[in-house]
A and B are shown apart, each in its own frame.
Chain A
Amino acid sequence: MKIHNSKKNLFLALAACAALTLSACSDDNAAGSADAESDNPNSITMSWPRDIGPMNPHVYNPSQLITQSMIYEPLVSYEEGGEVKPHLAESWTVSEDGREYTFKLREGVQFTDGSSLTSEVVKKNFDAVLANKNSHSWLGVINVLDKIEVVDELTFKMVLTQAYYPALQDLAVVRPVRMLGEAGFPEDGDTSKGITEPVGTGPWVLDEYKTDEYAVFKRNPDYWGESPELEEVTIKIIPDAETRVLAFEKGELDLIYGEGVVSMDSFNYLKETGEYTTDLSDPVATRTMLVNSTSEKLSDLNVRLALHHGFNKQAMVEGITLGLEEKADSILSSNFPYAQEDIEAIEYDVEKAASYLDEAGWKLESGGAIREKDGQPLELELIYDKTDPIQKAMAETLQAEWSAIGVKLNIAGLELTEQIERRKEGNFDLDFWYNYGAPYDPHSMINVVAEDGWGVAEAHSNLPMKTELDEQVREALASTDETKRQELYGTILTTLQEQSVFIPISYMKKTVAYQNDIESFEFPANRDEHPFNDISVSK
C-alpha cells in the first residue's frame, strides 16, 4: 500500500512537470505572438548569430555593431572609396594646424525621445566616452581628443592635442562615437555602466526585443533623412550557421548577410541552386601573414622573400575559401584610400624562392629535405587560432608548400588569447594577422606598424629602415597636406611589401544571400554598417 501511494505521488509529480511545461508553452504563445513572423509585406527578416545586446552606443560587446548602426548615427559617414560625407554634421572646417575641427550640426534632427540634436548633447556624448578613455584608446581620434567646446546651439569645436588627419574617418565608426539622446543617459552620465533606453536619431527604432530570440525594428517616422523603403526589419537570433541556411531555405528568413555567417560550402550551395540571389562584397579586410623580423632566421630579407615566393597563393586561397576570398597581392586592396595600384606583386616562383634561400646560405644537402646553415636546420613556427578552420587549413597548406623549398614549418594551434599574447611578446616566427577594414584603414594599419603594444611594430623592429618607417607613419597621420600624405603612404606600403614583413594572402569579403522578392541590395561601404536603408521588396 505504501509503495502504491509513492507511485501515485510520483505520477502526480510528473503530471505537474508536464503541466508546467505545457503552461510554459501556452504562456509563450502569447508572448511570442510577434515571434519574428511579420504580416507586413513591406518588411524583411534576417538572422544574426548573437543577441543584439543592450544597444549602448558607447560600449562594445555584447552590443552588436549592425543593430547599433540602425539606431545611432555618426557626425560624418564613410562612403565608397573612403570619401567622408556630412551626416549629423552638415559641414565642418579644419584649422590650419589640423588641431581644431569646427562642426555645424544639421538643423531639425530629432532623437526618438523627441529632443533635438544640439551641441550640448554632442558634448555630453563625447564627455561620456572620454570618461572611459582607456576602453577607447584603440581609436586614434579618442587618443588625441583634448576636449569638445560648445560654440552655439548647433556649432561645436573638437580640439585635438595634435594634428591627426584620419579624425573624420574615425568619427564615422559605429562605436563609440555615435550620438545617444538625452533620455538615454543614466543620471550620473556614465554610459559605461549602461543606458536607460536606446535613444538615437537613426532611421530605425527598436520596437520589440526578446533576449536571445529576436528584435523587431520599425522605421523611424520622424527620421530627418531619406526614409528607408522598408517599414520593418526583424532580426532573428540564430547562432548556428547551418540552421540559418535551413531557415532561409524554408523561407523563414529573407536575408543572410555578414562575414562568416554561412559556411563557404553552404554559400556555394545556395548560389548553385539558382533559387536565390547571392553576392560578394568588395574586399573588407586582408588576411595576412605577419613575419617576425626579430626571429633569427627571418631577420634575413632573402628568407622572407623566399617564403613569399614559395607558395601558390592563388591555389591555396581558391582551394580553401572556395572562391569566397580573392588572392591578395598587396596588404591594402584597391577600394581603400591611399591604396597603391602600382605596387609590385611578389608572385609564386619556386625557383626564385630556392635561389633566395641559397643566397642566404641555407643549403639543401644532397638527399636532405630541410635546408641547413652552420649545422642549423631551416625550421620555423607558424602560430594560428585553433578554432579558425581557415587558418588551420592554410597553415597545413603552407607546411606542405614550404617543405618543397626545404623549409620545415611547425604549426601550432593556440587559444586566441595565447596567440595574441605570444604575438605581443614576439614569441613566434609567423602568425596570421588581419587589418581592420573600412573606415579604420589604412590609418589604423600603419599606426600599429609604428606604435608598440600590438605586436606588429615589435615584429618589424629588426628592419634596417624601422626608425625611418616609424617617422613616415607619424608624419602621414599628422600631415595636413594631401599630396604629401599620398606620397608617404606610397613609401610606407612599398617598404612593407618589399621587406616582406607582411605576406598578404587574401582579401576577405562579406556574403549576402536573399530571396528573390528583395529587389535591391547594396553592401555598405562601412564594414560595420547595416544594409537596410537601401533594401526594397516587391509587394
Chain B
Amino acid sequence: MVIYLIKRLFAVVPIILFAIFLMFVLVRLSPVDPAQAYLAASNIHPTEELLAEKRQEFGLDRPLIVQYFQTVADIVRFDFGNSYVTNTPVWQEIATRLPATLQLAFSSILVAIIVSVPLGFLSAVYKNSWLDHFSRLLSYLGASIPQFWLGYVLIFFFAVKLDLFPVEGRGTWQHFVLPSITLSLALIAIYTRLLRASVLEELEETYVLYGRTRGLKEKGIMVKHVLRISISPMLTGLGMNLGKLLTGTIIVEQVFSWPGFGRFFIEAIFNRDIPVIQSYVVLAACLFIVCNLIVDIIQLYLDPRISREGRTQF
C-alpha cells in the first residue's frame, strides 16, 4: 500500500507540471500584455518606457523557456507574485478569502449528503413510487438549472417575497442557507441517482437473498448491509466533485456576495490581474489532482482488493 501511495504521489508531479505548462501557454496566447494590464490596473499612463521597464521587471523580455522554468520555480516556492491591483502577495489574498469559500463548499456538501443519502436510498427501495419520481424530477432540475439562475430565483422567493433569509452577505447561519442550497442542488442530482443505482444493484446481490432467508430483519439488511456497501461509489463521486465544488463557488459567491476567493477571481479577470488568474488556475488544477488522489486513497482504505497487496489476501 505504501509503495502504491508513493507511486501515485510521484505520478502527481508531471500532471502538476503539465497544468502549469498549460496555464503558462494560455496566458501567453492571450492578447493581454501583462505589462499593459499592470499599468492599466494601477491607473498609470502606459508610456513606451514604462511598458519596457515593466516587461523587464516581469521577465517578459526573456526567452519563453526561461520564463516557464522561472514560473515553475516560483510556484514550487508558493510565490505567486503580487496582485496587480492590490499590490499585495497573491498568496495573502488567497489566505484571506479561502476560508469563506471552504465554509461554503463544506456546508453545500453537508446539505447534499443530508438530502441525497435518504432520498437516493428510499427512491431505490420504493422504486417507481411517488418518492422515486420526485427524486428523478429533482435530479433533472438539479442537472439542468444554471446555478446563477437558481440563485436569483431562491433570493426572489425566499429572501425578497417570504423574507425568510437575507439576500446576500455572510455573518449568520441564515446566510448559509440559500447559497448552500444553490450550490448543492447539482450535487444532490448526481448523488441521488448514483446512490439509487448502486442500491438497486446491491439489492440483486445474493447476500440480500441470503439475509432474507436467514430471517434477518428487512430494515437491518437495508441499513447495515445494502446502504453501507452502496454508499461507496457515492463517496468516490463526492471526492471527485470536491474540486469542482470549490471552483463552482465562483458564480454562487458572485450572486450571493459571498466574500470568498471565487469572487476575487472574477474581479481579477475584469482587472486582467494576471498573477491572481494564474494562481487560481494552478490551484484549481492542484485541487482536482489532490482530490482525486485522496479519493483513490480512501477507496484503497475502504476496499483493500484494489491494491495488489490487498488482492493477495482475498
Contacts and interface: CB of A to CB of B under 8 A. Distances in A.
B176 interface: yes
B272 A61 contact: no
A453 interface: yes
Contacts of A213: 169-171, 257, 259
A250 interface: yes
Interface in A400-424: 414-418, 420-421, 424
Contacts of A2: 304
A32 B257 contact: no
A47 to B, nearest CB: 9
A137 B103 CA distance: 44
B99 A24 contact: yes
B33 A421 contact: yes
B86 interface: yes
Contact of A212 (B33, B99, B259, B304): B259
B85 A62 contact: yes
Contacts of B50: 134
Contact of B167 (A7, A135, A247): A247
A211 B106 contact: no
Interface in A33-69: 33, 35-36, 50, 53-54, 59-62
Contacts of B254: 239-240
Contacts, number: 148
Nearest to B45: A138
Most chain B CB within a 10 A radius of its CB, from A134, A240, A424: A240
A1 interface: no
A21 B110 contact: yes
B263 interface: yes
Interface residues of A, number: 60
Contact of A17 (B37, B43, B106, B257): B106
Contacts of B96: 211
Contacts of B41: 61
Interface in B130-179: 152, 155-156, 159-160, 163, 166-173, 175-176
B301 A6 contact: yes
A211 B42 CA distance: 20
B171 A29 contact: yes
B184 interface: no
Nearest to A247: B167
B42 A135 contact: yes
Contacts of B304: 2
Interface of A: 2-3, 6-7, 10, 14, 17-18, 20-22, 24-26, 28-29, 31-33, 35-36, 50, 53-54, 59-62, 134-135, 137-138, 210-214, 236-240, 242-243, 246-247, 249-250, 252, 387, 414-418, 420-421, 424, 453-454
Given A236-B169, A239-B266, A239-B267, 12 more contacts: A21-B176, A28-B170, A28-B175, A59-B42, A210-B259, A212-B264, A213-B170, A242-B255, A415-B31, A416-B40, A417-B32, A417-B40
21 contacts: A3-B302, A20-B106, A21-B106, A25-B103, A28-B175, A32-B170, A59-B42, A60-B43, A61-B43, A135-B42, A137-B45, A138-B43, A138-B45, A213-B169, A213-B257, A213-B259, A239-B267, A252-B166, A414-B31, A418-B31, A420-B36
